[in-house]
Amino acid sequence: MARRRQIYEGKAKILYEGPEPGTIIQYFKDDATAFNAQKKGQIAGKGVLNNRISEHIFSSLATIGVPTHFIRRLNMREQLVRQAEIIPIEVVVRNVAAGTLCKRLGLEEGVQLPRTIIEYYYKDDALGDPLIADEHIACFGWASQDEMNDIADMAIRINDFMCGMFAGIGIKLVDFKLEFGRVWDGDFSRVILADEISPDSCRLWDVKTNRKLDKDRFRQDLGEVGEAYQEVARRLGLLNPEDGEEAGAVLDLDEHRKKRDK
Ligand code: UDP
């Protein structure tokens, strides 16, 4: 494969220059980090599964009119996306109390929230992505008021859609994180959904058993992490039934290709 210019390496993905101007290739790694990268590890096959799951969700969101950066999946671990100016805000949507919300406010994990909460965090690893208010966003000019209105509207639509999608396969959408980017058309810009949506960035619980099917299995050393991601992909209909419950032909094929391309 031709050498491509690497633009950025993050915790779970590498970004390469795309084949045409204004495009980027997102490569999904098996690397996992938690607690602001203090805990590091690998989840075999995670990159392949997240690539597929994120493709599925972004494509579905496009069908209901949510603008996204996703163009197409290129192979097992890569997708072609539209280049966007990333807005330095992590948007967290919460339906059920978990994670830092419980820690911060002393809530019991699993309590259904009386209404959906949208929170904003400033994207800065050195500061540990601090929770911020709309006032900070306006004060420091990280996004305009119009952009924030669009972001909040999209976050609610995405939440409504994803709650239904996951409910249909017996999964409760507890919370998730979104990132948005700005794309320019001459002097005008608009906001589109960027990054990824996967069990790395969502809390997903089995409706009947409350079994965690997301990165909390890694964060909390619960084991069977890859299996949980596979379970999500399988329920979404993204793995062939004949792949079985274990590793899955999807992952075997990926290993085979990696060895072949070495
Ligand atoms: N999240 C994420 N990346 C982050 C922080 C949070 O994808 O840098 C996701 C996380 O997986 C969860 C939701 O956002 O689904 C809310 O996370 P929380 O604030 O509870 O923090 P965490 O427990 O992940 O540190």
Question: Domains, the chain, ranges and CATH?
Answer: 6-84+225-241 (3.30.200.20), 85-206 (3.30.470.20)
pLDDT recorded at residue 247:
43
Residues 6-14 have a mean pLDDT of: 97
Distance of alpha carbon 200 from alpha carbon 83, whole angstroms: 22
Token pair in block for residue 255? 């290993």
Residues 66-114 have pLDDT tens digits of 999 999 999 999 999 999 999 999 999 999 999 999 999 999 999 999 9
Taking phi over 0 as left and psi of -120 to 50 as alpha, with beta for the rest, 104 belongs to alpha
Q: Indicate the pTM of the whole model.
A: 0.93
Ligand 1 center to residue 45 CA distance, Å? 21
pLDDT at 240: 73
Give the number of the atom of ligand 1 that is nearest the alpha carbon of residue 92: 14
Residues 158-179, mean pLDDT to the nearest whole number? 98
What is the whole-number distance in angstroms between the Cα of residue 235 and the centre of ligand 1? 23
Which residues lie closer than 8 Å to 142 by C-beta, 6 or more apart?
87, 88, 89, 122, 136
List of E strands, the chain: 6-9, 13-17, 23-28, 31-34, 39-42, 70-73, 78-82, 85-86, 89-96, 112-122, 131-132, 171-185, 188-194, 202-206
Parallel, antiparallel, or unpaired for β 171-185 and 188-194? antiparallel
**Is the Cβ–Cβ distance between 6 and 16 less than 8 Å?**
yes
- 249 pLDDT above the threshold of 60: no
Q: What is the DSSP letter of 108?
A: P
CA of 100 to the centre of ligand 1 (A): 8
pLDDT at 245 over 50: no
More confident residue, 254 or 21: 21
